[in-house]
Structure 1
Amino acid sequence: MQAVEFRRFGGPEVLELVDRPDPHPGPGQVRIAVRAAGINASDWKKRQGAMDQELPQALGHEAAGVVDELGAGVTDVAVGDHVFGFSAASGAQAELTVLSHYAPMPPSLSFVEAAALPAAVETAARALDQLGIDGTILINGASGSVGSAAVQLAVARGARVIGTGSPASHDYLRSLGAEPVAYGPGLKDRVGPVDRALDIAGSGVLPELIDLAGGAEHVITVADPGAERHGVRFSRGDAGRALYVLHEIGGITVPVGRTFPLAEVADAHRVGEAGGVRGKLVLVVGR
């Protein structure tokens, strides 16, 4: 099978499609013929050498596709079922991958839409669970894939949600149930006090969010590496919750910004690193 891999750190040009042995599922896992795989910022951070120093590396942690092999003890899905979920290890951007956490695809979603969900929804749900839902919550960076999932989850849990975003995203944020506000200086004057703040964008506004929420204990970030010096919790991945989140997804969508064929993964990285595309980037694999 073909898979995305890099054998040295560098720019998008180091990415290549290589032939790798077909993977096989372990107990409780399934293998899928991948139809779509999500791209995340962690992919280009790994490619740059900012994360995980191992070489060579395969890429991709989330995918949707058709079950074609079952691991021992799997009884909840069958060969031919459409599922989505998290790969057992890096390697979802490939023709075949093994999913360690999976769930049946909601029938209303395409493969591309389903592949965009796992990482965004798991990140949003985990951060909101750690933060707690209490009164009014400000979500900084509300219009992207993680932010929009967080808005939908917080609204569904009864919160009043204020979401920061560019003016072009405000109608979209209103459609999700959020009250949109613009990025930039003077956020406190535009928003006023809130009960909780969730930082998705990592745009250096933690001091303002702490002030707005009445203390660092009421703020969580999933993106700002300087969280510790501000006394703010940094929410990290929890594979143990991933399966629960996948099964609980209902009616949540995240915007898909662009799709690319698997062979054009380098172009996808260039677009993602340049910014400017609102929504998830997804690789389309196979038919």
Structure 2
Amino acid sequence: MANTRHFRTIFLSDVHLGSKAARTDLLLDFLRHHEADTIILVGDIVDGWRLKRSWHWPQGCNDVVQKLLRKARKGTRIVYIPGNHDEFLRDFPGSHFGGIEVAERLIHEAGDGKRYLVLHGDEFDVVVRNARLLAYLGDWAYDAAIVINIGLSAIRRRLGMPYWSFSAWAKLQVKQAVNFIGEFQRVVADEARRNNVDGVICGHIHHAVMEDMDGIHYINTGDWVESCTAVAEHQDGTMEMIEWHGLVTVPAPSPVPAEILNDMKAA
């Protein structure tokens, strides 16, 4: 396919298949335009928590699963590291499903010889580890933010405005207030030091970033609910953060409904 890029390794996390917020359309588009020798799924690919509450599995979820299985059949090595939302797979370390390996965590050696600890990261989230009920309550609040996000996104599209995630913004304000992100990054980097590696690649907190933390290269892959990001390793070991909103140019905005124009005039 034209415009296809090939990498040594691609890292994806927090797709949340089964959630109404999962951007399966963008992920499928990303997978069509990006190939890799190895794809590592860094947890929360399937959202078992939401599926337990109410079953939601549209065709887009099937399409993502089939796309990954097709890549595995064609020779791509795919490793699935479960997270807290798909923790049911943690009972099957070392198993293979359709050519996809399941592992609790792994050490990835990059093309430049650097070694990275790869894990989802929920074991370092105090809320998830010590207070499961609070974690579920937080998950429900997150669902509410996603519903608001869908409505705002629809309005912004009609107005010809670029995508902006209310849920990501709201979450970031709360996390900053309690210094959660910084503390999470610190403890994950400490775990990398205990494992005598050069860096760590994780997901879980939906906050895509690559930065050095006192000698540890900390990488968070982000998610496919808000940021739509992946981390790709080039053949020389260089890591690249990719934010994917498709190759298709944004169409001209459709006419703004009269009621929205009236609301804007009244504001």
Structure with the bigger percentage of strand: 1
| Same-fold call, TM cutoff 0.5 | no
Q: TM-score range by the shorter chain?
A: under 0.3
**Which fold has the larger relative contact order, with Cα–Cα distance below 8 Å and residues 6 or more apart in sequence?**
2
Task: Give the TM-score, by structure 1 length.
Answer: 0.26
Task: Give the TM-score, by structure 2 length.
Answer: 0.27
Structure with the bigger percentage of helix: 2
